[in-house]
Amino acid sequence: MEICDQAEGKGQEDETMKIDNSLRSSQLIDLLRRFLGIQKTRAEAYTKLHRGFSEYMVSGADSVYSQLCAEITVEFNDCSKQVLEMESLFSHPDLCRGDLADLLKAVQEQEKQKLHLTAQIQVLKKAGHPSERLVSHENCCFRGPNEHECVHIHQITEAGVKDAEADAKYDNALKEAIKGVQDAVTIINEHLEEVRYEIEALETEQFEELIEKSESVHIS
């Protein structure tokens, strides 16, 4: 009788453990899916930012662009806050998935770098090449409607050399920033693939547990 009671007790304990594991898996899947949703929100925010910047470069409407940047900043801050909360939940003993917390943290770092470089790119594009500045000819000597003796020739020639050097530095800075964004996007996408793989693995685990439970009920 004691053996039967012990066996029954062990069976109940195993069943409780399976339920706990299933609940834990569901919580993990829910959090990971929420994280993917946040990344989608970030992507949509970047689309709005890029579109708004393109419109600003054409219209020059500072107030409209500034308002857009303020709205996007709020969105990004909200996304970061939610991800930080998720990191804390993954690290909690109830879930005990520090590896997933580290994965989200890695994405956060790349998102921060991506945003910083995106802002840098827009600042550079707003400024334009150093050589694209305008020169005033109000002090020049005009000999006719379309002819004038430019007093800036030496100034322009000397400045042209400096501008060429400045342009080269500008182009290099812009290329580095663009490459930095591309690298960050690549790393982020790799991490997101890891998240999707983890979701798939957890769902497979849940399905196998469901099959096992169904078979045990059928046998009994």
Q: How far apart are CA 215 and CA 132, in angstroms?
A: 76
In this predicted structure, what is the pLDDT of residue 156? 46
For the chain, what is the radius of gyration of the CA atoms? 30
CATH architecture of the domain 2-128+179-219 equals Up-down Bundle (1.20)
The b-or-e profile of 135-164 (16+ CB within 10 A means b, else e) is eeeeeeeeeeeeeeeeeeeeeeeebeeebe
DSSP 106-133: HHHHHHHHHHHHHHHHHHHHHH--GGG-
Distances (CA, A) of 21 to 14, 15, 86, 191: 10, 10, 19, 25
Token pair 């899947």 is found at 29
Q: Give the type of residue at 118.
A: T
Q: Cβ(9)–Cβ(189) under 8 Å?
A: no
pTM attached to this predicted model: 0.77
Instruction: List the chain pLDDT tens, one digit each, 220 residues.
Output: 443 344 444 444 555 555 577 889 999 999 999 999 999 999 999 999 999 999 999 999 999 999 999 999 999 999 999 999 999 999 999 999 999 999 999 999 999 999 999 999 999 999 888 876 555 555 555 555 555 455 444 454 455 667 778 888 999 999 999 999 999 999 999 999 999 999 999 999 887 777 777 666 655 5
Please state the domain extents for the chain: 2-128+179-219
DSSP 139: T
